Amino acid sequence: MSTNKVENITESAWVQILKILLLSLSAFGYTWPLVTGAGHVVVVAAVCVAALMAWMLARLRLRMIWCVLVSAILIAGGLFGSYLTLNVIGIVDVATTIKSSRFWYYAGLVFGIVFLTRSFSLRYRTAQIVESCLIIGTLVFLFFAHRDFNLTSPREFADYLYGNNYDPIEVYRWMGIGSAFLALPMLFGRVRIGRAVYSMILLVLIAFLAAQVMSGWRLPVNVEDPLGLNSTEDKKNGSSNNNDDDDKDKDKDQNQDKDDNADKNKGGGSKSNNNNQGPTGNEDPKPVAVAVFYDEFEPGDGIFHFRQTVLSHYDGNHLVDSEMDDDVISTMPLTGALDAVPVQSESLHEKVSTSMFLFKEHSQPPQLAMGQHVFPIQNPDPKVFVSAYGVDSLGLTLDVVRLIGRHSIPQEWSEEKKAHYLAIPDDPRYKALSDIIVRKIDPRFTGDDVVKALYIKTWLEKEGYYTQKTKHIDADDPTASFLFGSLRGYCVHFAHAAVYLLRSQGIAARVALGYAIDNRLRGTNSAVLIMGNQAHAWPEIYVDGVGWVTLEVFPENGDEPPREFARQDLESLFGELARDDKSGGKSPEARKDSFTIPWAKVWLGIGGLCILFLIGCYVRKAYILISARHVYKSSDAYKVLRGTIFAWRMYGFDWRKYHTLESFALNVAGVQSATKQIVDIASAPKMGGTISEEQLMTLREAYPIARNEIAIKTSMGRKILGWINPIVLI
Amino acid sequence: MNWLTRRNTFSWRRIGSSVGRIFKTARGIFPLTWLSIILAVLLYYVWYWEVSAHANQILYTVVLLWLLVWGVLLLFTLVTSILVFVCTRQRNLNNIIACKNEVGGHISSQYQVFCPFFLPFVEISVSMNDTCFKRHATRGAIWENEWLEPVGRGRFKAFERSILVRDIFGLTAISFKMTQLADIEILPASGQFEIKAFQTRTTGDGYSHPEGDPRGELVEMRRYQAGDPLKLILWKVFARSRKLVVRAPEPAVVEQNDMFVYFVSGRDDEASASMARAFLSSFGKDDGDLCFAADGANRIVKDKQEGMDDVIDSVHHRSRGGEDLMSVAPLVAPAMMNNCFLLVPQRIGAWIEVVRKFVGQYQVRPVFIMSVNGDDPSRKVKKMSRLRRMLVSPDTGQQQQDDRELICEKLSQLGTVRVVDIATGAARDWK
């Protein structure tokens, strides 16, 4: 009866013990971030008890339907117990209540799940796949999860690895190998332990070789979404809707382009930098570029301006870019380095070097402040970044106020150039308005271009209302519509209005396009993450002896929600990705400590273990053969028998082919043989007999004779093989 | 039916069985198991949902590694299967076994299967396709030797073994059959037997028994038995019929053994066959008249050797459900029907209905011999309660016990049920 009970179970006893251990580890891993020390004990205990209970009930042939019911009751009981403890009982202190609640919750949940999976696996082998998945899922859950399980956050462990000098992909690869091998034993059924261990060792060796081969393999990453930041949408919409979403995005982008072009045609002038911002503003902004600094730099107005291009030529309708702006690099450095015509005063500017890494294609390279030299650099990861280039810029170290007293247009400018930077629409209202604004200037500063510019800037900031809801698309001159209308608009309108007003006062000005990042809202690391929603337009004025100066307009009123702080985790992650710096920005010494798998030592260790194993086998062999010669107590008589059988086995005579040792001795050695004599005498204690001193002496004498018998019956080849073979099993 | 007619005969059953055989062979050679197929589907979805969509590097490695392991296992299973097939076939090419043995005996088949210990990842298991043999194996470093223990009677011209090569994870498996030529006759096991088991009444033959068929002047007379007083012999009758008879009311001193014994074959009839063998062995020539028949033979035999042959051959007629009883019964002298013994199997089957029909048609009250091997069906086993039956799956051993009890109950309504333990020879009536 008991045999039947065991036979209906699909697994050997040792396999079950191994699986309980692995499941305990798995449950420990799953609950690691969720429970405290006592909770871990509860979880592991729940796994052990559930597995044992499943085994006992499987032996008793409990029908599966009841197992499912028991699991459901256990899980429900755990949840209910937790709820009850937390909400109803609550008579003890808070800490105890929470602990008790967690106890019921995890004990019930883990117990129920493990009991169910074990019950299925003990009856149906195919169910063992579920347990394998649980094991693999543990590592994925623990180490591949996004921070706080938020899909738009970077993966916590990868971030940690980047920051600590490790390559996450390499570590993940080893984790994958480890979890695959931990999951494999969960597929064991009835298997002999020796064969299982032997096979697993060989599989590990194969995996090591495979890992060497796979070391160059990288998972092909979707360039459009390298870090899976759109996973939330994908999940919501499902795979079937992905194409639709792409189409929608394209449509939205196209619409946005249309809007921008409309603005441009109407005098707005902005290019399609807002493509990466959600068109409705409700979607999460997407990163478009990351700038990596190599030195400290803080802009005077607290805003990092990443300029792409400028609009300075008034074509009778609106501002467009012009070849006159040769101090601005507006093309990507595809073939080589590009230099701007130097117009900035080096004495008043600080040289800043940055590296730019773009996630999205741009037709003009964003450059910090006044980019002077743009050159291509190696893309650290083409799957993540679409392009990379270095920029040497000049950043103004002074506040604009410190420039008071300077003129705008230098004497040496040609008339054509003056006209170029002073051209405005043929609308007298610009001049009239600007005159009204500058009329209020303190007489001491009358005629000072910088003061005029500051007054116009201040007026726009006070009077203007920032909103993206009013676009002035239908107007012939959107800037006039904004400036002489509601004064409601966004950065493009403010920039154009400022430029026209400034020009009307004889100040050379132009509109710059690019991205603006508030220094107060970014992280503390040396990288600046540029998001799609940070596209911006701002005015620039020319100051004699200084060069082009950014004159940012900050409207005091508006309906824009306050800007959010930059995602420091994202910023840090992308920064490190961009650097491809194994030291994680640390000192060069840290680079030496970077983790590499010491293959030479690993192979040496494996080789050493093999040699030790061989030595152990040979020592065992020698001990068995030698100890048979030195038997002086009747209790050691078995050693002679063991030595004799071992010697036979060593040369290929297996006693297990015969049913008993007696029949083996009889058939192989003969009736009158010393082997038979040894077997007869040494087997006596098993039959309840004893061995006298005389018999012991006989055994000692018979052993060398038996060895001779073996030697006579064995060919030289077999003898050599017998001595070489380290593993002789009896 | 010659080969020509056989070829032209269209039979769905034959086509079905051929297709089934081909399918079984193909399934055996197909190396992927259900576990493997489920795993393949799972890996596909993991790749599709997690690896491709979320760039999961851990699962990427897991999937690739499992595919590698899968490939390695498949390779080893294939190579091992080929090695086992070729080496085993070569080793046993001229290995033909011929012997005569009995159930529970020991047959050294000399058959060796190639099972090298050093081949990793795979396990080789060998099983006999014929359930009449239990295979015992001793595994060496390279070869697995075997000896066979017959557990069922029969005549065998070949042994068919199924060799299963599978990996230790159960992902790949290949099975194939190998045949060894043989000429083996397996007798039922020799059981203990008391003649008391086959005694019915303390009378002589059934010629003149009140319950028998009266015939002429032999009404109310019975055959003289050794030990009867000579004065009771009806000498006038002897003068006319040359038969020594006495009057029926006179009690017999020694029991008479003229009887009709029928062996009903069915599932679990080995104990019953042992009883048949013991009975046939002990039934002497001068003990009286014996009519013995067995399922499948369709004849009455009086020679015990022939009877034994019929018992052995009856193993191939288990599916007939005892229907030969109705065709053999008319051949038996009606008077002998009074001493009718039916050796019945331990499992319930269609034969019960045939027996019921036989009893009804011939108006006899046979003695049913239920042979058991050690365990007594009347022993009160704890019956599974309704609740327990609802909770747990039934055990096959328990099922057999229930069957025997049920058989005894059913048969006790038709005649006397006698339970004989072939291990000890003890016999007693059921209830």
pLDDT for res A262: 39
User: What SS3 state is found at B155?
Assistant: strand
Q: Is B57's CB within 8 Å of A214's CB?
A: no
Q: Does the pLDDT of residue A440 top 70, yes or no?
A: yes
Q: Is B35's CB within 8 Å of A228's CB?
A: no
| Residues A625 and A558 both lie in one domain | no
pLDDT for res A258: 39
A427-441 b/e with 16+ CB inside 10 Å = b? beebeebbeebbeee
- Give the C-alpha distances (Å, rounded to integers) separating B154 from A98, A209, B261, B313: 72, 55, 20, 6
A587 falls within a domain: no
What CATH number corresponds to the domain at position A496? 3.10.620.30
Tokens of A498: 């400022």
Is the separation of the CB atoms in A223 and A386 below 8 Å?
Answer: yes
In terms of pLDDT, which residue wins out, B222 or A132?
Answer: A132
Report how far residue A153's alpha carbon sits from residue B280's, in angstroms, rounded to the nearest whole number.
Answer: 88
- Give the C-alpha distances (Å, rounded to integers) separating A52 from A115, A116, B327: 9, 12, 58
Report how far residue A337's alpha carbon sits from residue A351's, in angstroms, rounded to the nearest whole number.
Answer: 17
Distance from the B81 Cα atom to the nearest Cα atom in chain A, whole angstroms: 17
Q: Is B38's CB within 8 Å of A126's CB?
A: yes
Residue B198: φ, ψ to 5°: -105, 15
Residues in chain B closer than 8 A to A169 (CB atoms): 57
Question: Pick from A547, A566, A585: which residue ends a domain?
Answer: A566
Into how many domains does chain A fold?
3
- Give the C-alpha distances (Å, rounded to integers) separating A315 from A318, A320, A423, A494: 6, 7, 9, 19
Which residues contact residue B379 at a Cβ distance below 8 angstroms, ignoring those fewer than 6 apart?
none
Residue A122: φ, ψ to 5°: -70, -20
Q: How confident is the model at residue A116 (pLDDT cuts 50, 70, 90)?
A: very high
Q: Is B57's CB within 8 Å of A172's CB?
A: yes
| Residues A344 and A197 both lie in one domain | no
DSSP single-letter state for residue A562? P
| Partner residue facing A140 (CB), from B42, B53, B56 | B56
Question: Pick from A566, A595, A624: which residue ends a domain?
Answer: A566
Mutate to test the interface with A, among B58, B59, B122, B386 (most CBs of A within 10 A): B58
At residue B84's C-alpha, the angle toward residues B83 and B85, to 5°, is 95
Which residues contact residue A231 at a Cβ distance below 8 angstroms, ignoring those fewer than 6 apart?
A151, A152, B53, B54
Q: Does the pLDDT of residue A667 top 50, yes or no?
A: yes
CA-nearest of A551, A536, A520 to A468 is: A536
Question: Pick from A566, A594, A623: which residue ends a domain?
Answer: A566
At residue A176's C-alpha, the angle toward residues A173 and A181, to 5°, is 130
Q: Is B57's CB within 8 Å of A169's CB?
A: yes
| Residues A452 and A506 both lie in one domain | yes
| Residues facing B271 on adjacent strands | none
Distance from the B54 Cα atom to the nearest Cα atom in chain A, whole angstroms: 6
Q: How confident is the model at residue A268 (pLDDT cuts 50, 70, 90)?
A: very low
| Partner residue facing A177 (CB), from B55, B65, B393 | B65
Report how far residue A229's alpha carbon sits from residue A152's, in angstroms, rounded to the nearest whole number.
Answer: 5
Q: Mean pLDDT over residues A59-72, rounded?
A: 90
Angle between helices A156-163 and A168-183 (to 10 degrees): 130
CA closest to B53 among chain A residues: A228
| Partner residue facing B396 (CB), from A4, A180, A189 | A4
pLDDT for res A238: 40
| Residues A402 and A547 both lie in one domain | yes
The domain in which residue A201 lies consists of 2-214
Tokens of A68: 């499912």
Distance from the A652 Cα atom to the nearest Cα atom in chain B, whole angstroms: 9
Q: Mean pLDDT over residues A246-271, rounded?
A: 40
Residues in chain B closer than 8 A to A659 (CB atoms): 138
pLDDT for res B300: 86
Report how far residue B100's alpha carbon sits from residue B87's, in angstroms, rounded to the nearest whole number.
Answer: 28
Could you write out the DSSP letters of every residue in B333-400? -GGGGGGEEEEE-SS--THHHHHHHHHHHHT--PEEEEEESS--TTS-PPPPPHHHHHHBPPPHHHHH
| Partner residue facing B69 (CB), from A66, A144, A203 | A203
Share of chain A above pLDDT 90, in %: 18
Q: Mean pLDDT over residues A580-603, rounded?
A: 59
Residues in chain B closer than 8 A to A177 (CB atoms): 61, 65
Residues in chain B closer than 8 A to A199 (CB atoms): 120-121, 168
CA closest to B41 among chain A residues: A129
Distance from the A194 Cα atom to the nearest Cα atom in chain B, whole angstroms: 10
CA closest to B51 among chain A residues: A219
For chain B, count helices (H), then strands (E).
Answer: 12, 15
| Residues A72 and A184 both lie in one domain | yes
Per-residue model confidence as pLDDT tens for chain B (431 residues): 444 444 455 677 778 888 888 888 888 889 999 999 999 999 999 888 888 777 788 888 889 889 999 999 999 999 999 999 999 999 888 888 888 899 888 888 888 999 988 888 999 999 988 888 888 888 888 898 888 899 889 998 888 899 999 999 999 999 999 988 889 999 998 877 776 666 654 444 444 444 444 445 556 677 777 677 888 888 888 888 777 878 766 555 544 556 788 999 988 888 899 988 888 887 655 455 678 899 888 888 888 888 899 999 998 888 877 888 888 888 887 767 777 889 999 888 888 888 999 988 888 888 898 888 776 555 555 666 778 778 877 766 555 666 788 888 888 888 888 888 888 878 788 76
**Chain centroid offset of residue B401 CA:** 16
A309 falls within a domain: yes
| Partner residue facing A188 (CB), from B65, B169, B397 | B169
Q: How confident is the model at residue A643 (pLDDT cuts 50, 70, 90)?
A: very high
**Chain centroid offset of residue A481 CA:** 49
A585 falls within a domain: no
Segment A135-149, tens digit of pLDDT: 999 988 888 877 766
User: What SS3 state is found at B223?
Assistant: strand
- Give the C-alpha distances (Å, rounded to integers) separating B249 from A114, B223, B297: 78, 12, 38
Chains A, B: CB contacts within 8 A come to 132
Residues in chain B closer than 8 A to A227 (CB atoms): 55
Q: Does the pLDDT of residue A53 top 80, yes or no?
A: yes
**CA dihedral for A221, A378, A162, A302, sign (positive or negative):** negative
| Partner residue facing B53 (CB), from A128, A140, A234 | A234
pLDDT for res A592: 52
Residues in chain B closer than 8 A to A179 (CB atoms): 58, 62
CA closest to A129 among chain B residues: B39
| Residues A410 and A547 both lie in one domain | yes
Q: Does the pLDDT of residue A224 top 90, yes or no?
A: no
Could you write out the DSSP letters of every residue in A588-606? HHHHHT-----HHHHHHHH
CA-nearest of B162, A19, B176 to A10 is: A19
pLDDT for res B41: 92
A116 falls within a domain: yes
Report how far residue A699's alpha carbon sits from residue A682's, in angstroms, rounded to the nearest whole number.
Answer: 8
B1: exposed, middle or buried (C-beta count within 10 Å: 0-12, 13-18, 19+)? Answer: exposed
| Residues A707 and A625 both lie in one domain | yes
| Residues A555 and A621 both lie in one domain | no
pLDDT for res A237: 43
Q: Is A180's CB within 8 Å of B66's CB?
A: yes
A590 falls within a domain: no
| Residues A527 and A622 both lie in one domain | no
A82 falls within a domain: yes
Residue whose tokens read 């500051």:
A454
In terms of pLDDT, which residue wins out, A192 or A162?
Answer: A192
Is the separation of the CB atoms in A679 and A641 below 8 Å?
Answer: yes
CA-nearest of B315, B229, B238 to B272 is: B315
Segment A427-439, tens digit of pLDDT: 888 888 888 888 8
B349: left (phi over 0), alpha (psi -120 to 50) or beta: beta
Q: How confident is the model at residue A512 (pLDDT cuts 50, 70, 90)?
A: very high
Q: Is B169's CB within 8 Å of A187's CB?
A: yes
Q: Is A180's CB within 8 Å of B62's CB?
A: yes
pLDDT for res A261: 41
| Residues A627 and A546 both lie in one domain | no
Question: Out of A234-243, A448-457, B181-190, which region has the weakest mean confidence (pLDDT)?
Answer: A234-243
**Average pLDDT for chain A:** 80
Mutate to test the interface with A, among B36, B50, B62, B146 (most CBs of A within 10 A): B62
CA closest to A214 among chain B residues: B61
| Residues A96 and A207 both lie in one domain | yes
pLDDT for res A67: 92
CA closest to B55 among chain A residues: A221
Report how far residue A278's alpha carbon sits from residue A276's, in angstroms, rounded to the nearest whole number.
Answer: 6
| Partner residue facing B395 (CB), from A4, A228, A659 | A4
CA closest to A58 among chain B residues: B392
Residues in chain B closer than 8 A to A140 (CB atoms): 50, 56, 58-59
Tokens of B88: 């085993």
Is the separation of the CB atoms in B243 and B342 below 8 Å?
Answer: no
pLDDT for res A715: 85
A52 falls within a domain: yes
A289 falls within a domain: yes
A232: left (phi over 0), alpha (psi -120 to 50) or beta: alpha
Distance from the A159 Cα atom to the nearest Cα atom in chain B, whole angstroms: 14
| Partner residue facing A657 (CB), from B42, B66, B138 | B138
| Residues A482 and A344 both lie in one domain | yes
